[in-house]
Amino acid sequence: MRQPPGFTDQTQPHSVCKLQKSLYGLKQAPRQWFQKLTDFLQHQGFGFSRSDPSLLIYHKNSIRLYILIYVDDFLVTGNDEDAIRSLLKQLRAQFALKQLGNISLFLGIQVTHSPTGFFLSQEHYATKLLNDAGYKDCKSAPTMLTPDKKKKEPNLQPLKDPSLYRRLAGSLQYLSITRSDIAFATNRICQHMQSPTEHNFKALTRLLRYIKGTTSFGLPITTGTLELRAFSDADRASDITDRKSVLGFCTFLGTNLISWTVNKQATVTKSSTEAEYRSLSAAASDVLWLRRLTTELDMPQSSPTTIYCDNTSAMAIAKNPVFHARTKHIEIDYHFIRQQISTGNIQLAHISSKNQIADILTKPFSIARFHELRNKLTTRTPNA
Nearest one of 211, 331, 229 to 283, comparing CA atoms: 229
Contact 185, 207 (CB under 8 A): yes
Question: What pLDDT was estimated at residue 166?
Answer: 94
Q: Label residue 230 exposed, middle or buried (CB < 10 Å: 0-12, 13-18, 19+).
A: buried
Which parts of the chain have pLDDT scores under 50?
A: none
pLDDT, tens digit (0-9, with 9 covering 90-100), for 34-65:
888 999 999 999 999 999 989 999 999 889 99
* Cα 325 from Cα 278, distance rounded (Å): 16
The DSSP annotation for 75-129 comes to EEEES-HHHHHHHHHHHHHHS------S-SEETTEEEEEETTEEEEE-HHHHHHH
Question: What pLDDT was estimated at residue 321?
Answer: 59
pLDDT, tens digit (0-9, with 9 covering 90-100), for 87-102:
999 998 888 888 888 8
Nearest one of 293, 305, 199, 307 to 248, comparing CA atoms: 307
Q: What angle do CA 274, 232, 271 make, to 5 degrees?
A: 15
Contact 278, 234 (CB under 8 A): yes
**Torsion angle, alpha carbons of 244, 369, 208, 123, to 10:** -120
Provide the 10 A C-beta neighbour count for residue 155: 12
Question: What pLDDT was estimated at residue 212?
Answer: 94
Question: What pLDDT was estimated at residue 67?
Answer: 94
Contact 33, 277 (CB under 8 A): no
Nearest one of 205, 187, 204 to 247, comparing CA atoms: 187
The residues, ordered by sequence, that sit 6+ positions from 241 with a Cβ below 8 Å of its Cβ are: none
Alpha-carbon distance values, 37 to 44, 97, 165 (Å): 11, 12, 38
Q: Which amino acid is at 314?
A: A
All structural domains of the chain, each given as residue ranges with its CATH number in brackets, are 29-101 (no CATH), 120-212 (no CATH), 224-351 (3.30.420.10)
Question: What pLDDT was estimated at residue 148?
Answer: 61
Nearest one of 204, 183, 213, 189 to 358, comparing CA atoms: 183
